Amino acid sequence: MSSPGGQGGGALSTRGAGGARRMKWALELSLSNTRSRGDRQGGQGDTMYPIGYSDKPVPDTSVQETDRNLVEKRCWDVALGPLKQIPMNLFIMYMSGNTISIFPIMMVCMMAWRPIQALMSLSATFKLLESSSQQWLQGLVYLVGNLLGSALAIYKCQSMGLLPTHSSDWLAFIEPPQRMEIMGGGMVL
Amino acid sequence: MSALVCRVVAFFCLLRASAAVFEDQVGKFDWRQQFVGNVRFAAFDAHSQASKKLLVATEKNIFASVNSRTGELFWRHVDKTGQDGQIDAMLVHGQDAVLVVGNGRLLRSWETNIGGLNWEVVMDTGSFQTAQLIGLADIVKFVAVLKKSAISLHYLSNGHQKWVENLPDSDTVQYQTVYSSGNGDVFVLGLVPHSHIVVVAYNIEDGEIMKQVSVEAPWITSLDSSCAVVGSAVLLCVDPVSSSLYTLQLNAEGRAEFVHIPLQSLDLEAEAGFHPVVIATQPHPARVPLKEFFLQLGPERFILLQLKDGAIAPLRDFNPANLVAFATTGEKTVAAVMSPKNETACSINLFSADTGRRLLDTTVTYNLDPNGGKLNRLFVLAFLKKDDSVGYRALVQTEDFALTFLQQPGRVVWVREEALADVVTMEMVDLPLTGTQAELEGEFGKKADGLLAMVLKRLSSQLILLQAWIGHLWKLFYDARKPRSHVKNEVTIETLARDEFNLQKMMVMVTASGKLFGIDSKSGTILWKHYLQNVQPNAAFKLMVQRTTAHFPHPPQCTLLIKDKDTGLGSLHVFNPIFGKKSHIALPTLPRPIQQSLLLPIMDQDYTKVLMLIDDQYKVTAFPSTKNVLQQLQEMASSIFFYLVDSSQGTLSGFRLRKDLSTELMWEVVIPAEVQKITLVKGKRANEHVHSQGRVMGDRSVLYKYLNPNLLAVVTESTDTHPERSFIGVFLIDGVTGRIIHEAVQRKARGPVHLVHSENWVVYEYWNTKSRRNEFSVLEQYEGTELYNSSVFSSLDRPHPPQVLQQSYIFPSPINTLEATLTEKGITSRHLLVGLPSGAILSLPKMFLDPRRPEVVSEQSREENLIPYAPEMPIRTEWFINYNQTVSRVKGIYTAPSGLESTCLVVAYGLDIYQTRVFPSKQFDVLKDDYDYMLISSVLLGLFFATMISKRLAEVKLLNRAWR
């Protein structure tokens, strides 16, 4: 953080509450004084600066109307982001294998979670793309990319056997059948 | 490579299946009680004053030493069952106990201190009559064994035979008694009934016949109970017909003759119809018997008589008296007489044998158990006190096989319930809720009496619960500070209450003698006992729980069906299994012999399950038979079926109930009885739950189990026992339709077959006569990959037969009994409990008995966790659930579910009773015993405080930063 230079050489400051009490007063001869004091003096506002002076630089907010291509390009970047991740995901999928252990599970979770998160914040992304002329196309591409990502995650779950698609996955829910006949007996006593 | 994989897989499977306990778990939830059976011979080891041993030989062929202070066993020798191991006689002298075993086949001498065998002699064949210690010159040196046609004399020190002599005219004369008074002669007494008595005197040194006389005695029938040698070689006999006594001088010179003494001359008279008994005693085998003897003239009348110079004089008349016994200490012989005091108590008194005078301060009061049997025998241990008076302890044996040891002045030192050595059947019943819990439950049963009253009642009962809980916590805290051995949880019938996980139950045991026991499963304490009089020794029992403890205001109810084997008539004993009290419910009259009984899941208004009794004309009697029950039975009659198996005829027949409670024959399967005999029929247990309806295959499809609740497993054995031709047959028959689902004949196999039938599998064990080994075989039934009808199961609508898979394994030991574990919901994997003849109980994972075990390992079988097939079934010592607490002659294993899904309660019974818990899938629902509560709670507390402190620190830091 940039600190103002503080007072000129030989400035004398009396100190209020807080800070080191043992010093009643201090004389600073150098410009590069301790940070703590500089902060506080900066916060209190200093009479040494002229009126209207700000120590933060003012951002340049003016829109370059002329460079629309740049905006388009930026919007396409956003829209194609999910699609670009797919080859990477495929590679990770291939590398992590189909065994159920902590790392593949973490990967799958991440792969599944990212598109879902993106889909949930779809309106925010649309707002981002508002400035573009091909807004609807870009939105569609973005959506399709994310859907493809989640399909990939589901495929991965399927190949890992995490989806309840087999009859054995529903075995625990089968109730024992009710018996229609009462039967008993045995050897003649 | 694949073999290595197999081994690794198998190793991990084995590792997972181990069921042994840790050293510190020993005795924590298991207990064993050892029994010896009904005592046939008992003797006190009286060779030293401090000795506290009681030697017993029993009908179960057991010779044991009991600590007379505590009633525990010092040691026990279990011999063969049946005739081969039968103990015919027990003679105790000093530290030696001589037993004649197996109808005179073996003569054994045991050292009584440690129970070691001194020597054993195999004797010549011949039917055993009697054995007697023979002394010479005041020292007991020999033991004489009398058989039907020979007498032999053995040295007591090493068992060597001194001589053996044939008895003269042994084909006509029945020799029954041996007598010697230590003067060098051995008298053998025999008789020809209704004719004469033969007295043969042998020389003790070489067995030469010194003298042989025959005395006319046309009245004689037996020597055993009506004759005894009294005084110096005087044979005294009693004749019930002429009601008189006869005396005969055995060593008289010249012609011997009976002297006739009518009982009238002594002012005595035998009770009508009672055979008088002479009870005499010979305190030391090397000296003459006592001159005094008891004459029993009626069931409750004893006379102490004295024989003096050939004349008999009555000393004292005991009327009434239950039992008498002689006891000797030092030179003194006393007579102990037990006489009834009042309805519930008896008193034992000592009398001087030579005068008949009562000894002072020798009364012992014995309270009769109202639920016990009648008095049977009395054994007395007399000892000299410091002031030279005679003190004694008494052992009373009652009809229900109980032994009670009494001490002056009437203290019961211990009681041994030897009826428990022969448990026939048992059930485990849940304990009732505590009073407070029951009160809370009772709220729902009662009618509402206003909202406010209900709220107040609920509040008050919950306050009581809270109070009880705090009391419990306080007790826990208090007990935790004491050392573990000091904490004694006395269980009484009043403090009985169900525990959190329903691990403590009431074991209701039915014994062959007709005595019922209620035993606490946690500690093994006998909480109640009830002796059923008039039960035939070979009666058949069937125990059923008609009402459980779950229906609070109604007490639980058990029913015991007793069938007399001779008459075939059945009787019911209805009782409360928690308190053992007989309930006063009107019992149905059963005029016809009972064939079978059937407990229906239909309930009466008071939640009693209906018991159906089927008589020999296939008529049905319902118990209870209220209107409600009869109506329900009428409604459901068409779906009630039962089957009867007649092993002698070889028929299996199925019946259906009609609305008027008669029955109709539905099916009949005849298995020709001359070729094969039905030995075993087993259905499934009614309280069994199967959680999973199928098995997951390697390709993640499902193989559905064929869960037919009406399926019966029938085992037949061939009548031809030749090893080449013998076979066993296993049939799976539907009990409703009579359809044979599966049939297998195993050639070159022989029984006895042990079988478990559960879920969709049947496991049986047999003897393979070709390979001469025991084999296990498992049958599993599957419906296939499709369920025919997943909502209801009806045997009448099952078009497709199931797929049956089978596999066999070699088992390295014969087995005594087989049972499967049982849990509440059936989620836990199953184990088989195998009772081995060695007394160990093996917990064998069912996983090993799986017909789908592959011979060649594939990816899919590995996925399924199937162990590769190996023909040999291992016995691993860590699978023994009873570690070194062997259960002798294990006859049956009973399993019951507990409130915890992981835990199954197991009771093994036989000669001993052993109770434990097994965890087939480990204790997945409870924390381990060695769970480190301290560490976890300190870590939790530490983390909590760390969070608090760091939160505070963070606040301070933020504040500081804000001030900057």
Q: How confident is the model at residue B442 (pLDDT cuts 50, 70, 90)?
A: low
Nearest CA in chain A to B616: A188
Give tens-digit pLDDT for B770-798: 999 999 999 999 998 888 888 888 888 88
Give tens-digit pLDDT for B584-608: 888 888 888 889 999 998 888 888 9
Nearest CA in chain A to B794: A180
Q: Which of A39, A168, A180 sits opposite B696 (nearest CB)?
A: A168
Q: Range with the lowest mean pLDDT among A119-128, B554-563, B760-769? A: A119-128
Question: Which residues, other chains included, contact B214 with Cβ-Cβ below 8 Å and sequence gap of 6+?
Answer: B196, B197, B198, B199
What pLDDT is stored for residue B426 in this prediction?
A: 94
Q: How confident is the model at residue B48 (pLDDT cuts 50, 70, 90)?
A: low
What pLDDT is stored for residue B463 in this prediction?
A: 87
CA distance B887 to chain A (A): 28
**Tokens 């049972």 identify what position?**
B819
CA distance A136 to chain B (A): 44
Q: How confident is the model at residue B444 (pLDDT cuts 50, 70, 90)?
A: low
Q: How many CB atoms lie within 10 A of CB B76?
A: 19
- Stronger pLDDT, A119 or B485, i.e. the higher one: A119
Is the pLDDT at A33 greater than 60, yes or no?
no
Is the pLDDT at B532 greater than 60, yes or no?
yes
Question: Which residues, other chains included, contact B528 with Cβ-Cβ below 8 Å and sequence gap of 6+?
Answer: B371, B493, B517, B518, B579, B580
Interface check for A164 against chain B (CB to CB < 8 A): the answer is no
Using CA atoms of A158, A159, A164, A166 in order, give the dihedral in degrees to the nearest 10: 130
Q: B508 is written with which tokens? A: 């209701």
Give tens-digit pLDDT for B838-872: 999 999 999 999 999 999 998 888 888 899 999 99
In this complex, do A181 and B640 lie within 8 Å of one another by their Cβ atoms? yes
Using CA atoms of A46, A48, A51, A56 in order, give the dihedral in degrees to the nearest 10: -70
Collect all residues of chain A within an 8 Å Cβ-Cβ radius of residue B789: 177
What pLDDT is stored for residue B435 in this prediction?
A: 63
For the segment B954-959, the average pLDDT, to the nearest whole number, is: 95
Interface check for A30 against chain B (CB to CB < 8 A): the answer is no
Is the pLDDT at A13 greater than 70, yes or no?
no
Query: Which has the closest alpha carbon to A57: A135, A1, A7, A8?
Result: A1
What pLDDT is stored for residue A4 in this prediction?
A: 44
What pLDDT is stored for residue B259 in this prediction?
A: 85
Is the pLDDT at B270 greater than 80, yes or no?
no
- Containing A114, the helix (H) or strand (E) segment is helix A102-120
How far apart, in whole angstroms, are the C-alpha atoms of residue B389 and residue B359?
A: 9
In this complex, do B600 and A177 lie within 8 Å of one another by their Cβ atoms? no
In this complex, do A179 and B696 lie within 8 Å of one another by their Cβ atoms? no
- Containing B509, the helix (H) or strand (E) segment is strand B505-511
What pLDDT is stored for residue B787 in this prediction?
A: 86
Is the pLDDT at A128 greater than 60, yes or no?
yes
CA B534 to chain centre: 19
Q: Could you say which residues from 31 to 50 on chain A have a Cβ atom under 8 Å away from some Cβ of chain B?
A: 36, 39-40
What pLDDT is stored for residue B814 in this prediction?
A: 93
Query: Which has the closest alpha carbon to B128: B95, B96, B152?
Result: B152
Nearest CA in chain B to A161: B700
Q: How confident is the model at residue A12 (pLDDT cuts 50, 70, 90)?
A: very low
Nearest CA in chain B to A172: B692
Interface check for A16 against chain B (CB to CB < 8 A): the answer is no
Question: Which residues, other chains included, contact B872 with Cβ-Cβ below 8 Å and sequence gap of 6+?
Answer: B809, B810, B812
Collect all residues of chain A within an 8 Å Cβ-Cβ radius of residue B710: 179, 181, 183
Is the pLDDT at B174 greater than 60, yes or no?
yes
What pLDDT is stored for residue B506 in this prediction?
A: 92
- Stronger pLDDT, B312 or B253, i.e. the higher one: B312
Q: What percent of chain A has pLDDT over 90?
A: 3
How many beta-carbon pairs under 8 angstroms link A with B? 124
Q: Range with the lowest mean pLDDT among A60-64, B270-274, B684-688? A: A60-64
In this complex, do A181 and B690 lie within 8 Å of one another by their Cβ atoms? no
Q: Which of B645, B790, B793 sits opposite A187 (nearest CB)?
A: B645
What pLDDT is stored for residue A15 in this prediction?
A: 46
- Stronger pLDDT, A25 or B37, i.e. the higher one: B37
Q: How confident is the model at residue B764 (pLDDT cuts 50, 70, 90)?
A: very high
Query: Which has the closest alpha carbon to B163: B104, B102, B209, B103?
Result: B209
Is the pLDDT at B917 greater than 50, yes or no?
yes
Interface check for A23 against chain B (CB to CB < 8 A): the answer is no
Q: How confident is the model at residue B139 (pLDDT cuts 50, 70, 90)?
A: confident
Give tens-digit pLDDT for B1-26: 444 444 544 444 444 444 577 888 88
Q: Range with the lowest mean pLDDT among B218-222, B610-614, B615-619, B718-722? A: B218-222
Q: How confident is the model at residue B61 (pLDDT cuts 50, 70, 90)?
A: very high
**Which of B609, B635, B643 is the best mutation test for A, with the most CBs of A within 10 A?**
B643
Q: How confident is the model at residue A2 (pLDDT cuts 50, 70, 90)?
A: very low
Whole-number average pLDDT of chain B: 87
Query: Which residues share a beta bridge with B151?
Result: B146, B165
Is the pLDDT at B446 greater than 70, yes or no?
no
Give tens-digit pLDDT for B703-734: 999 999 999 999 999 998 888 899 999 999 99
Give tens-digit pLDDT for B194-241: 888 888 888 888 888 888 888 888 888 888 878 888 888 888 888 888
Q: Which of B599, B700, B796 sits opposite A168 (nearest CB)?
A: B700
Q: What percent of chain A has pLDDT over 70?
A: 74
Q: How confident is the model at residue B557 (pLDDT cuts 50, 70, 90)?
A: very high
Is the pLDDT at A34 greater than 60, yes or no?
no
In this complex, do A161 and B795 lie within 8 Å of one another by their Cβ atoms? no
In this complex, do B694 and A36 lie within 8 Å of one another by their Cβ atoms? no
What pLDDT is stored for residue B961 in this prediction?
A: 94
* The 3-state secondary structure of B422-441, one letter per residue: HEEEEEEEECCCCHHHHHHH
For residue B608, the one-letter residue type is T
- Containing B603, the helix (H) or strand (E) segment is strand B594-603
Q: Range with the lowest mean pLDDT among B170-174, B475-479, B821-825, B861-865? A: B475-479
Is the pLDDT at B119 greater than 90, yes or no?
yes
Interface check for A185 against chain B (CB to CB < 8 A): the answer is yes
What pLDDT is stored for residue B518 in this prediction?
A: 93
Is the pLDDT at B484 greater than 80, yes or no?
no
Is the pLDDT at B427 greater than 90, yes or no?
yes
What pLDDT is stored for residue B489 in this prediction?
A: 57
Collect all residues of chain B within an 8 Å Cβ-Cβ radius of residue A39: 964
For the segment B322-327, the average pLDDT, to the nearest whole number, is: 88
Q: What percent of chain B has pLDDT over 70?
A: 95
In this complex, do A174 and B790 lie within 8 Å of one another by their Cβ atoms? yes
Give tens-digit pLDDT for B286-314: 888 888 888 888 888 888 888 888 788 88
Q: Which of B595, B646, B791 sits opposite A178 (nearest CB)?
A: B791
